[in-house]
Structure 1
Amino acid sequence: MLYHFYELNQAVLHPARAAAEAYRLLWRNPLNPVSHSVMGRGAAAALELFERSTRRYRKPDWEIDRVVAHGRDVAVKPVTVLTKPFCNLVHFQRDLPTADQKKDPKVLLVAPMAGHFATLLRGTVRDLLPDHDVYMTEWIDARFVPRAAGAFDLDTYIDYIIEFLEAFGGDVHVVAVCQPTVPVFAAVSVMEARRDRNVPRSMVLMAGPIDTRKSPTAVNKYAMGKPLSWFRRNVITQVPWPYPGHMRLVYPGFLQLSGFMGMNLERHVTAHRDLFHNLIQGDGDSADKHREFYDEFLAVMDLSAEYYLQTIETVFMEHRLPKGEMRHHGTVVDPSKIKRVPLMTVEGHKDDITGVGQTEAAQDLCTSLPDTMRAHHLQAGVGHYGVFNGSRFRNEILPKVRTFMRAHQPRKSMLKRVLQRVV
């Protein structure tokens, strides 16, 4: 019933939000003399805060229209190339000649399925596009997936990753950010155990919980502090009608958002107070930055209950992957089988979500991988989001990732080059 009460609350507040937005426009209208006064700006600011605080934020747009690649400014168009019930595989097509496209390594960027939409990695995609042919997983809000599509758990997640990798025929580098490091690492382990010829050219794991026993954070301790039955009773609920996924059991986005806000409540209260003052003072640039951040941060999606509970149990409570106890459809996931896929791990020194050493643990599990096929980078001065977004990522982390990928990008044989010259 919790989800139903939430929807009822949204419906009750809808007329008030509409009225607040209408009156805000009235107080902001330059033809209204009061709009130029402190009282007018204060009233408009208060109304905007009310509307933004009670709004349900939808999935943001990608807002990646153009990029500079190969010395030219080209158009970018996100195109869905593969569709699954819970995920779309999106290709960011650059308007480049085929010859230039082939020069750049293909990259499959696996976005977190941890509450926020894949657009959270908008900056990561934008920074990759100049030198890479980028594909990305775009996870679908579980409340929009009909029950007829079946369940989605950690095993299904791994199946999706394997299917996506096989679609490239081995010609792709896979990059997993945060939560998907575990299913991606498991998927590559399973493919190596099967001697699958479609394993990726390399694997980059960034700020992910491979072994949460190392440097446990507040997030890790919270997950371990309660039994699984507590999570099942308190955070799992049914999607209400009329959503396509009505009656599906989910971990709803609004509960996740309350957790996100609670972790740094004072910071968020201060940010909204600053927005109020900036609106009164007419500081449009600061207000726009606030809107841009919170339009993304407050947009959340429902997660399938099966996937959420299995992840809590497998990754955070029982640490099955580093213990060698994780299974995929009953078969043990064995990272020691990884022999052909080079591995790079990346961590942030100030990461308060995924502690230092949790991602690097993947290196210790790949016992059959030679040193020439490994790399690890610990970035100083960045927290969790700084590992995959922002100036430090763009200027210090990405160049190392790019170098690692290109070092393991196969080149044409000398014979082929000679034949090409002859022709």
Structure 2
Amino acid sequence: MLYHAYELNHAALAPLREAVEFNKRYLESPYNPASYTLFGRTAAAACDLFESMTRRYSKPLWGLNSTLVGDIEIAVQERVIWEKPFCRLLHFERSREGLAKAHGKAGWTHPRLLLVAPLSGHYATLLRGTVDAFLSEYEVYVTEWTDAREVPLSEGRFDLNDYIDYIIEMIEVLGPDIHIISICQPGPPVLAAVAVMSEQDNESLPSTMTFMGSPIDTRLSPTTPNKIAMERSFDWFKDNMIYTVPWPNKGIMRRVYPGFLQLSGFITMNQDRHVTAHNKYFEHLVEGDCDSAQRHRDFYNEYLAVLDLTEEFYLQTISDIFQEHRLPKGEFMHRGQLVQPSKITKVGLMTIEGENDDISGIGQTQAAHTLCVNIPQESQLDYIQTGVGHYGVFSGRRFRANVKPKIEDFMLKHFDVKRENHFQKANEPLFFSKTNGHL
């Protein structure tokens, strides 16, 4: 009933939002003398704040239309190269002509990088800054997970086993020697996928895998979300966190963990910070500080856009990753097969953690090194970035200045070649899809 109440509340407020939006435009009009008064600016700011706090935020656009290679601006186009009901693989394809111009000759391209976005409530566009940082020097691919409320019930279930299968298929589509960066939630399933591929001696094994702020072993330095997962029973999560998608969504009748529930939890954890941010936003609007107001909008347009997770995926993650700790205990199963990270021998391993991470504590990501005992030491690296929290590990100033160079150096060192020899010829296929059999 909670999901139905959420939809009903959204629909009931729609006429009021329209009226408030009309009043806002009227109060801000340069032809309205009131717009130049303190009263007019305050009233317009109040309307803006009401509208922003009551509307539903849709999936943001990537907005990455170009990148700089050296001092040459190169066009970038989003292209879907693999797709299934619950995910699609997006390639940020850069102009070949632009690359040829930047490098002074045709026939060269950059290494390939797969960013595995978290499926934990926010859209993959949360990694916009991460993608942008790598675009100038890499062929970047990103997993775009689908909002479960938009997937018809006829498309079937999606659990943690399906997630691992999706990862393996996407790696096979891209072919061998790609670099994988797993950000937060995907850590355990990506590690499991690479372990399964290693045991099968899959020819599409990646060259390196990097885990950033991932819950590999949540028994180490448990954070507030980890403690909540342990304090409550599995049945509590099943009874209180799972709801049925109502009409008019495409996924009507699908059982999900609603994104708005997770969002409310995150906001509650940092309630004072969000209240302060909105108070300052109101003040910026009244003062006419457009730049500060726009920065607030940009952040919350992303932060408040959430998606639903399927019941089976959410509950299996709670049980296997956060309560039973099956992966670090050596008990994690995939399709009846024991997942053994010790089978990984040819893939470089890097782990990155934030000093102030309040989602994945120090040591949780490092645990991957303990599990991957047969990866040579020279092919492993652990790095802790000081002065950042969870999001600072993969975005922001310190990510660009400190974390990104560490990742690049590690990937190049694992190949033991110079950067200029790390390129491929552009006339070779960038990927081969075993799903549809075309180049």
Q: TM-score scaled by structure 1? A: 0.95
Work out whether residues 350 and 380 of structure 1, in 8 Å CA contact, stay in contact via their aligned partners in 2. yes
> Are 1:295 and 2:305 matched, yes or no?
no
Work out whether residues 105 and 406 of structure 1, in 8 Å CA contact, stay in contact via their aligned partners in 2. no
Question: Which of 205, 211, 230 is 2:217 aligned to?
Answer: 211
Matches within 5 A, 1:11-410: 11-97=11-97, 102-409=108-415
CA RMSD of aligned residues (A): 1.3
- Residue 394 (structure 1) shift: 0.3
Alpha-carbon distance between aligned partners in 2 of 1:102 and 1:216, rounded to the nearest angstrom: 46
Alpha-carbon distance between aligned partners in 2 of 1:183 and 1:235, rounded to the nearest angstrom: 22
1:208 partner letter: S
1:38 partner letter: L
Could you say which residue in structure 1 is the equivalent of 2:428?
A: none
- Residue 372 (structure 1) shift: 1.1
3-state SS in 1 of match to 2:96: coil
1:234-282 alpha-carbon deviations (Å, 9 max, x no partner): 1101111222111100001111111111110111111111111111111
Work out whether residues 105 and 409 of structure 1, in 8 Å CA contact, stay in contact via their aligned partners in 2. no
Judged with a 3 Å threshold, the aligned counterparts in structure 2 of structure 1 residues 204 and 102 are, in CA distance, closer, same or farther, namely: farther
3-state SS in 2 of match to 1:269: helix
Q: TM-score scaled by structure 2? A: 0.92
Alpha-carbon distance between aligned partners in 1 of 2:108 and 2:337, rounded to the nearest angstrom: 37
Identity across matched positions, percent: 53
Alpha-carbon distance between aligned partners in 1 of 2:238 and 2:404, rounded to the nearest angstrom: 39
1:395-423 alpha-carbon deviations (Å, 9 max, x no partner): 101001011112234869xxxxxxxxxxx
Q: Larger deviation: 66-75 or 320-329?
A: 66-75
Work out whether residues 23 and 47 of structure 1, in 8 Å CA contact, stay in contact via their aligned partners in 2. yes
Alpha-carbon distance between aligned partners in 1 of 2:417 and 2:265, rounded to the nearest angstrom: 48
1:266-300 alpha-carbon deviations (Å, 9 max, x no partner): 11111111111111111111111100000000000
1:111-150 alpha-carbon deviations (Å, 9 max, x no partner): 0000000000000000010111100000000011111111
Work out whether residues 75 and 95 of structure 1, in 8 Å CA contact, stay in contact via their aligned partners in 2. yes
3-state SS in 2 of match to 1:107: strand
Aligned residues: 412
1:294-347 alpha-carbon deviations (Å, 9 max, x no partner): 000000001111000100111110111000011001111100000010101111
Alpha-carbon distance between aligned partners in 2 of 1:272 and 1:129, rounded to the nearest angstrom: 33
Could you say which residue in structure 2 is the equivalent of 1:416?
A: none
3-state SS in 2 of match to 1:57: coil
Alpha-carbon distance between aligned partners in 1 of 2:389 and 2:372, rounded to the nearest angstrom: 26
Alpha-carbon distance between aligned partners in 2 of 1:212 and 1:396, rounded to the nearest angstrom: 26
- In the alignment, structure 2 segments of 5+ residues that lack a partner are 419-439
Alpha-carbon distance between aligned partners in 1 of 2:24 and 2:163, rounded to the nearest angstrom: 44
Alpha-carbon distance between aligned partners in 2 of 1:253 and 1:169, rounded to the nearest angstrom: 33
Judged with a 3 Å threshold, the aligned counterparts in structure 2 of structure 1 residues 273 and 377 are, in CA distance, closer, same or farther, namely: same
Alpha-carbon distance between aligned partners in 2 of 1:71 and 1:26, rounded to the nearest angstrom: 44
Work out whether residues 350 and 384 of structure 1, in 8 Å CA contact, stay in contact via their aligned partners in 2. yes
- In the alignment, structure 1 segments of 5+ residues that lack a partner are 413-423
1:69 partner letter: V
Alpha-carbon distance between aligned partners in 2 of 1:241 and 1:279, rounded to the nearest angstrom: 37
1:187 partner letter: A
